Amino acid sequence: MDQPVRELSYAQAIQEAMAIAMEQDERVFLMGEDIGVYGGAFQVTGDLVERFGADRVIDTPISELGGAGVAVGAAVTGLRPIFEFQFSDFATLAMEQIVNQAAKMRYMLGGAVSVPVVMRFPAGSGTGAAAQHSQSLEAWLGHVPGLKVIQPATPHDAKGMLLAAVADPDPVMIFEHKLLYKMKGPVPEGYYTVPIGKAEIRREGRDLTIVATSIMVHKALEAAKTLEAEGIDVEVVDLRTIRPMDTQTVIDSVKKTSRLLCVYEGVKTLGVGAEVSAAIAESDAFDFLDAPIVRLGGAETPIPYNPELEKATVPQVPDILKAARDLVSGRR
């Protein structure tokens, strides 16, 4: 008799990954604002302070620059810190440590040191948190050599990619969409990893490739179901990693479908979709295109507080449907 598949929420999967990492390696510890007794701004850390103690689940002062600096320094000395930002927007306060220190130390010191730090960023809109707490800044950090930047879209990947990040010798930035924290899905027990730098085809199709990131993967899959009923067969590629980007999977998909739609929540200009589009334009997949590449990204505006305006600033399922129909029909 088949055993029922175990399901965890995205947040539970992350918490389990951190617990496993801490159990297996005493060098792993957690840092962040209110992650101890309070359990984290989004309750992801939960009861880990009770399980591992306040010396391994450390509440930091309200200083992202200071906390990030301590995390980077600890990593250089041989520890493996996981530093949680309350909101991804607050990365702006720690860019000196992330961009000028963590990303460059291995290079500047000729490989004599590594910086095995993991930084977690609750990101994205949809919670009514307005302009300074709702941004998607993964493309910012993806621009920096020396950093690895990932966006798990499922509970399975959230656990496996976090464990891969902890084992990685270089700094890994994890962008976790806040609306995904309550989403449930199958998650294996025990230790496993999901490779950083490898995309995943979530749905195979022949008429159109949609490359999506984070929560947009789920919106693309929802749109694909509607389009299937209309006779449009969509392939959905979950990019998963922003840097290093798996362009080969996208190239192979575009060669099959001859059309490409990039869907991402970050602002359209200079976003993840721009890099994906350029990779196709510079590859032999360009000769297979039957229509121009289309980018569907966030609006050129700060995220509003009003819930209806907030929705209007980032791609929704109806926007994906329209763009896909236009592409396949030749209207784009």
DSSP string covering 245-300: --HHHHHHHHHHHS-EEEEEEEESTTSHHHHHHHHHHTSGGGGG-SS--EEEEE-S
Is 64 assigned a catalytic role?
A: yes
* From 33, 64, 84, 275, the catalytic residue: 64
Whether residue 104 contacts residue 76, with contact meaning beta carbons closer than 8 Å, is answered with no
Residue 202's nearest CA partner among 226, 180, 177, 234 is 234
Residue 325 buriedness (CB in 10 A; 0-12 / 13-18 / 19+)? middle
* From 33, 84, 133, 200, the catalytic residue: 133
Q: How far is CA 287 from CA 256, 291, 309, in A?
A: 12, 11, 39
Residue 174's nearest CA partner among 194, 189, 204, 203 is 194
**Residues near 301 by beta carbon (within 8 Å), at least 6 away in sequence:** 313
Q: In angstroms, rounded to a whole number, what is the distance separating the alpha carbons of residues 305 and 290? A: 40
Q: In angstroms, rounded to a whole number, what is the distance separating the alpha carbons of residues 206 and 255? A: 10
DSSP-assigned beta bridge partners for residue 172: 118, 148
DSSP string covering 195-253: -TT--EEEE--SSEEEEE-THHHHHHHHHHHHHHHTT--EEEEE--EEES--HHHHHHH
The per-residue b/e assignment along 1-35, b for 16 or more CB within 10 angstroms, e otherwise, is: eeeeeeebbbbbbbbbbbbbbbeeeebbbbbbbeb
Write phi, then psi, for 120 (nearest 5 degrees).
-105, 135
Question: Annotated catalytic sites, by residue?
Answer: 64, 133
